[in-house]
C-alpha cells in the first residue's frame, strides 16, 4: 500500500504512513515527484532540514531536489545544489548525473541568472575541456567584472565564492588549456605567464598542495625555455657563417686578386684578350670578330675577376665547412623536412611505414571497419597507395627541390636554390663595381653580399611561393584523389577516415607555410648558451613532434650543471633518430637513458643508452660504429655530410667542428645483444669561481 502511494496514487491510511516523521516526509516527496508536482517536492524537502542529518535521507533529498529543479528549469538553484553536493566532504552521496544539468544549461538562452556563479564553470570542467570550458570561464569572469588575472583579488574572491570552490576553480578551470583561447593573449607564453600567477595565488591558500603547484610552475618554465630554443633554432635553420667564409676567401684569393689587379692595370694601356670558357663560339673566330660584347666578355681583367667570383660562389654554396649545401643537408634535408611533412599524416593515422619494402596495413582503420570485412581490403590498398604517394612526393621535395642549381650542375635541374649566372649578368656586376675593388677584403665582401642579398630577396620569394602554392597543390591532388576512391566504397558513417583526410588537407598547408619560414637566410649566429638539460629537452620535444608514432620518454640523468650552444639540438636530434631507426623496437618498448657527467675536468660526457631487439642481428651496426670510432678524427671526407643517406655521424662531426665548436678527439660506443650506448665527448671549461 505504501509503495502504491509512493508511486503517486491515492491511498487511505488509518493512521500515519510511518512512525518516522522523516520517512513520512520522504514518502510524500517521492509521491509528489512521481506525480510531477515538482514545486511541492521542493517545498516539502526544503521545509525539513532534519533530513540532512542522516546520510540516507540526505541522499534521497538532494537527488529529488536536483531533478525537480531540472524539470522546472530552475538552473540557478540546480547549480547551487550541485556545488553544495560536489564540495560536501562530510556526507557522501550517490553520484548524480551532472551531465543532465550541463545539457540543460547548454541549450538554454537565459544564462544571466547564473553565469556569475562559480559553480557554472566548475560544472563545465567535469564535462568538457578546451574551448567549451573557456566559454563558461569567460562568461563567469565577465559577469564578475574580472577582465584579467591581474584584476582578481584573491581574498575578495574567496569571501564571495568560498575557499574550496576558489581553489578548485583556479586549479582545474583556469588552466593553460582553457586560457589559451582568450583573444587577449598575443602568444602562448603570455598564457603561461598568467598561469604562473594563478599557481602563485594557489600556493598560500592551498599549502598542502604547494609541491604540486611548484612542480607545475617549473614545468611551465621548462616548456617555455624549450619553446624559445626551438623558435631560435627554426629562425636560424638556414645559416651561413659569412664572416668565416670571408676570412678564408680573403686568405685564399689574395694571390688571385693581385694577378687580377696587375691584369687590370695592363688592360688600361693595351687590349688584353683571354680565353672565356663560357664562350660557345669558335675561339679563333671569336678573336677575329669585331663584336663589342664578345670583346668585353673575353677581356683579361673581366676573366680574372670572373675566376674569383665563380670560386667564391662555389665556396658560398658548397664549402664543406660553411657552405649553404652543408647547412641544407644537416639542418633540413637530413630527416627534418621529411619527418615534419610525414608527421601531419601520421598524427591523423593516414600513413604507415614499410616492412621489407611493403607498406604495412593500417590497424586503426582495420579496427574501425572490423564489422565490415568486405571493405577492409580495398581500404588498406587505397591507404598503402596513399602512403607511397605521400612518401614519394616528400622524397621529391627533399631530393630534388631542396637542392642547389648552377649552370655547372645540370643534374639538379629542379632545385629551388638557383644560382645561375652568365657573362651578360656577371659583366654588368663587374663593370658597375670594379672601381671599388681596391682590396681583396672589399672585393670578397661585395661578392658575398651579392650572394646573401640574392638569397634573402630573390630566392626567399621563390621558395615561399613554392611552399605556399606549387608544393601544396600536389599534396591536395593526392588527398582529393584518395577521398574520391574512398567515397566509391560507401564507408559507414562511424568511419572517420574521410574526415581525417579532409583535416590533413588543411594541416599540410599550415605545415608547409611553417616550413617555408626555415629558408630565411641568417648570416649571424643566433645560437644561445643554454643548460645541457634544456637543449636535450628541446631536442626531444622536436623529435617527438615530427615522429608522432615514436614518443620517446627517456630517463635523463644530469649530474652536473653545465651549458652548451643551442645548435647542439641538431646533434641530439640525430642521436634520437638513430634510437628510433636502429633499435628495431616499437615505441612502447624503447627504453632510453641519457646520462651526462664531467670526466677529469676535461670532458663533458653525454651517453645515450637504449635497449635493442634481441632477435635482430646488429653485427653490421658494430662494423659501422667501429669505423666511425677509428675515423672520428679524420676530417678529410667531411663533405660526405652533405649527402643524404650517408652516416649521421658525419653530420654530427661537421656540426661539432664548424657550428658548435665543440668537437673533441674522443668518441666511444658499447654494443651487446640487449643494449647499445653511444658516448659523445665535449670540451669542458671549468667555471671561474
Q: DSSP assignment of 18-65, as one string?
A: -S-HHHHHHHHHHHHHHTT-HHHHHHHHHT-GGGGGSHHHHHHHHHHH
26 domain-assigned: yes
pLDDT digits (tens, 9 = 90+) for 258-280: 998 888 888 765 555 554 555 54
Provide DSSP, 162-210.
-HHHHHHIIIIISSHHHHTT-TT-SSHHHHHHHHHHHHHHHHHH-GGGH
pLDDT of residue 275: 46
476 domain-assigned: yes
For 470-487, give one letter per residue: b (16+ CB within 10 A) or e.
Answer: ebbeebeebbeebbebbe
Between helix 188-205 and helix 210-235 the angle, nearest 10°, is 170
Find cell 683571354 and name the residue. Answer: 274
Which of the four pLDDT bands, split at 50, 70 and 90, describes residue 222?
A: confident
Please tell me whether residues 305 and 222 are part of one structural domain.
Answer: no
Q: Which three cell numbers stand for residue 113?
A: 541568472
CATH number, position 588 = 3.30.565.10
Residues 6+ apart with CB under 8 A from 639: 320
Average pLDDT over residues 598-603: 86
Are 228 and 188 in contact by the 8 Å Cβ rule? The answer is: no
pLDDT of residue 30: 84
What single DSSP character describes residue 273? B
Average pLDDT over residues 637-665: 76
Cα angle 27, 30, 33; round to 5: 150
3-state secondary structure of 417: strand
pLDDT of residue 283: 46
pLDDT of residue 571: 92
What single DSSP character describes residue 320? T
In terms of pLDDT, which residue wins out, 651 or 234?
651
Average pLDDT over residues 28-45: 86
Please tell me whether residues 504 and 413 are part of one structural domain.
Answer: yes
689 domain-assigned: no
Residues 6+ apart with CB under 8 A from 164: 87
Which of the four pLDDT bands, split at 50, 70 and 90, describes residue 294?
A: low
pLDDT of residue 297: 84
Which of the four pLDDT bands, split at 50, 70 and 90, describes residue 527?
A: low
Q: Which residues pair with 599 in a beta bridge?
A: 603
What single DSSP character describes residue 90? S
Which of the four pLDDT bands, split at 50, 70 and 90, describes residue 658?
A: confident
Does 652 have pLDDT greater than 80? yes
30 domain-assigned: yes
Boundary residue ending a domain (519, 549, 582): 519
Please tell me whether residues 104 and 183 are part of one structural domain.
Answer: yes
Q: Which residues pair with 565 in a beta bridge?
A: 529
Residues 6+ apart with CB under 8 A from 259: 304
Residues 6+ apart with CB under 8 A from 553: 592
Does 666 have pLDDT greater than 90? yes
Q: Which three cell numbers stand for residue 151?
A: 584584476
Please tell me whether residues 498 and 361 are part of one structural domain.
Answer: yes
Q: Which three cell numbers stand for residue 478?
A: 593526392
pLDDT of residue 13: 52
Does 608 have pLDDT greater than 80? yes
Report d(CA 402, CA 379) in Å as an integer.
Answer: 33
Shortest CA distance to 479 belongs to which of 512, 456, 452, 457? 512
Which bin fits 492, alpha (ψ -120 to 50), beta or left (φ > 0)?
Answer: beta
Q: Which three cell numbers stand for residue 214?
A: 611548484
Average pLDDT over residues 20-30: 78
In terms of pLDDT, which residue wins out, 79 or 356?
79
688 domain-assigned: no
pLDDT of residue 3: 57
Please tell me whether residues 511 and 535 are part of one structural domain.
Answer: no
Please tell me whether residues 62 and 173 are part of one structural domain.
Answer: yes
Other C-beta atoms closer than 10 Å to the C-beta of 254 total 13
pLDDT digits (tens, 9 = 90+) for 506-524: 999 999 999 998 998 888 7
Please tell me whether residues 515 and 536 are part of one structural domain.
Answer: no
Please tell me whether residues 80 and 157 are part of one structural domain.
Answer: yes
Shortest CA distance to 566 belongs to which of 601, 523, 596, 534? 534
Boundary residue ending a domain (233, 263, 280): 233
- Mean pLDDT score of the chain, rounded to an integer? 87
414 domain-assigned: yes
State residue 405 phi and psi, 5-degree precision: -110, 135
Average pLDDT over residues 614-641: 85
Rounded to the nearest angstrom, the gap between the alpha carbon of residue 198 and the centroid of all alpha carbons in its chain is: 26
Please tell me whether residues 316 and 216 are part of one structural domain.
Answer: no
pLDDT of residue 59: 83
Which of the four pLDDT bands, split at 50, 70 and 90, describes residue 17?
A: low
Domain that holds residue 657: 529-683
What percentage of the chain exceeds 70 in pLDDT? 89
Please state whether beta strands 555-558 and 592-599 pair in parallel, antiparallel, or not at all (unpaired): parallel
> Which of 361-370, 494-503, 555-564 has the least mean pLDDT?
555-564
Please tell me whether residues 315 and 435 are part of one structural domain.
Answer: yes
Which of the four pLDDT bands, split at 50, 70 and 90, describes residue 413?
A: confident
Please tell me whether residues 192 and 276 are part of one structural domain.
Answer: no
pLDDT digits (tens, 9 = 90+) for 101-138: 999 999 888 889 899 999 999 999 999 999 999 999 99
pLDDT of residue 588: 83
Does 639 have pLDDT greater than 80? no
Average pLDDT over residues 271-293: 51
206 domain-assigned: yes
Please tell me whether residues 195 and 327 are part of one structural domain.
Answer: no
* Sign of the CA dihedral running 491, 494, 497, 500: positive
Boundary residue ending a domain (233, 254, 270): 233
Domains of the chain: total? 3
Does 673 have pLDDT greater than 90? no
524 domain-assigned: no
What percentage of the chain exceeds 90 in pLDDT? 52
Which of the four pLDDT bands, split at 50, 70 and 90, describes residue 281?
A: very low
pLDDT digits (tens, 9 = 90+) for 307-319: 999 999 999 999 9
Average pLDDT over residues 528-548: 86
pLDDT digits (tens, 9 = 90+) for 436-460: 999 999 999 999 999 999 999 889 9
Q: Which three cell numbers stand for residue 377?
A: 581490403
Does 528 have pLDDT greater than 80? no
Average pLDDT over residues 391-408: 93
Amino acid at each position: 500500500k505504501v509503495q502504491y502511494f509512493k508511486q503517486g496514487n491515492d491511498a487511505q491510511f488509518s493512521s500515519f504512513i510511518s512512525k518516522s516523521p522523516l520517512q513520512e516526509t520522504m514518502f510524500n516527496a517521492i509521491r509528489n515527484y512521481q506525480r510531477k508536482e515538482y514545486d511541492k517536492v521542493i517545498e516539502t524537502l526544503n521545509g525539513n532540514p532534519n533530513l540532512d542529518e542522516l546520510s540516507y535521507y540526505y541522499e534521497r533529498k538532494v537527488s529529488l531536489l536536483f531533478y525537480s529543479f531540472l524539470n522546472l528549469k530552475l538552473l540557478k538553484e540546480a547549480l547551487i545544489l550541485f556545488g553544495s553536493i560536489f564540495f560536501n566532504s562530510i556526507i557522501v552521496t550517490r553520484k548524480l548525473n551532472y551531465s543532465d544539468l550541463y545539457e540543460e544549461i547548454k541549450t538554454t538562452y537565459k544564462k544571466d541568472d547564473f553565469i556569475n556563479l562559480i559553480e557554472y564553470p566548475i560544472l563545465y570542467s567535469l564535462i568538457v575541456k578546451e574551448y567549451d570550458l573557456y566559454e563558461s570561464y569567460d562568461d563567469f569572469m565577465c559577469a564578475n567584472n574580472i577582465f584579467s588575472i591581474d584584476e582578481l583579488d584573491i581574498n575578495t574572491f574567496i569571501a564571495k565564492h568560498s575557499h574550496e570552490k576558489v581553489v578548485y576553480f583556479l586549479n582545474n578551470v583556469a588552466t593553460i588549456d582553457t586560457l589559451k583561447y582568450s583573444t587577449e593573449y598575443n602568444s602562448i607564453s603570455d598564457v603561461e605567464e598568467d598561469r604562473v600567477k594563478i599557481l602563485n595565488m594557489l600556493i598560500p591558500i592551498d599549502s598542502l598542495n604547494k609541491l604540486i603547484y611548484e612542480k607545475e610552475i617549473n614545468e611551465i618554465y621548462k616548456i617555455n625555455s624549450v619553446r624559445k630554443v626551438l623558435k631560435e633554432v627554426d629562425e636560424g635553420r638556414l645559416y651561413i657563417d659569412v664572416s668565416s667564409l670571408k676570412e678564408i676567401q680573403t686568405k685564399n684569393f689574395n694571390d688571385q686578386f693581385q694577378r687580377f689587379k696587375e691584369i687590370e692595370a695592363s688592360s688600361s694601356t693595351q687590349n688584353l684578350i683571354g680565353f672565356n670558357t663560357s664562350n660557345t663560339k669558335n675561339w679563333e673566330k671569336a678573336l677575329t670578330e669585331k663584336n663589342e660584347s664578345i670583346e668585353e666578355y673575353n677581356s683579361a681583367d673581366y676573366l680574372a675577376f670572373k675566376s674569383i667570383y665563380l670560386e667564391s660562389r662555389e665556396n658560398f654554396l658548397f664549402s664543406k665547412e660553411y657552405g649553404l649545401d652543408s647547412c641544407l643537408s644537416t639542418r633540413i634535408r637530413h630527416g627534418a623536412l621529411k619527418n615534419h611533412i610525414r608527421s601531419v599524416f601520421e598524427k591523423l593515422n593516414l600513413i604507415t611505414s614499410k616492412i621489407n619494402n611493403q607498406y604495412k596495413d593500417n590497424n586503426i582503420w582495420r579496427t574501425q571497419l572490423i564489422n565490415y570485412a568486405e571493405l577492409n581490403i580495398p581500404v588498406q590498398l587505397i591507404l598503402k597507395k596513399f602512403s607511397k604517394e605521400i612518401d614519394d612526393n616528400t622524397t621529391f621535395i627533399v631530393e630534388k627541390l631542396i637542392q642547389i642549381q648552377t649552370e655547372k650542375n645540370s643534374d639538379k635541374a629542379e632545385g629551388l636554390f638557383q644560382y645561375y649566372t652568365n657573362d651578360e649578368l656577371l659583366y654588368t656586376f663587374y663593370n658597375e663595381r670594379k672601381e671599388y675593388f681596391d682590396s681583396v677584403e672589399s672585393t670578397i665582401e661585395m661578392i658575398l653580399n651579392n650572394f646573401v642579398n640574392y638569397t634573402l630577396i630573390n630566392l626567399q620569394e621563390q621558395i615561399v611561393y613554392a611552399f605556399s602554392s606549387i608544393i601544396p597543390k600536389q599534396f591536395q591532388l593526392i588527398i582529393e584523389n584518395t577521398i574520391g576512391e574512398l567515397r566509391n566504397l560507401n564507408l559507414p558513417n562511424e568511419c572517420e577516415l574521410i574526415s581525417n583526410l579532409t583535416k590533413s588537407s588543411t594541416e599540410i598547408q599550415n605545415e608547409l607555410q611553417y616550413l617555408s619560414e626555415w629558408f630565411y637566410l641568417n648570416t649571424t649566429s643566433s645560437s644561445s648558451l643554454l643548460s645541457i638539460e634544456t637543449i636535450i629537452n628541446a631536442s626531444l620535444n622536436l623529435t617527438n613532434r615530427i615522429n608522432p608514432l615514436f614518443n620517446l620518454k627517456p630517463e635523463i640523468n644530469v649530474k652536473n650543471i653545465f651549458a652548451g650552444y643551442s645548435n647542439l639540438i641538431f646533434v641530439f636530434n640525430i642521436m634520437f633518430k638513430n634510437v628510433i631507426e636502429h633499435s628495431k623496437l616499437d615505441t612502447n618498448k624503447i627504453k632510453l637513458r641519457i646520462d651526462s657527467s664531467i670526466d677529469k675536468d676535461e670532458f663533458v660526457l653525454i651517453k645515450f643508452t637504449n635497449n635493442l631487439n634481441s632477435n635482430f642481428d646488429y653485427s653490421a651496426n658494430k662494423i659501422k660504429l667501429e669505423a666511425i670510432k677509428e675515423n672520428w678524427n679524420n676530417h678529410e671526407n667531411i663533405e660526405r655530410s652533405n649527402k643524404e643517406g650517408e652516416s649521421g655521424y658525419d653530420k654530427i662531426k661537421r656540426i661539432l667542428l664548424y657550428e658548435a665548436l665543440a668537437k673533441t678527439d674522443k668518441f666511444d660506443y658499447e654494443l651487446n645483444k640487449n643494449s647499445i650506448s653511444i658516448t659523445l665527448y665535449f670540451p669542458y671549461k671549468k667555471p671561474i669561481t
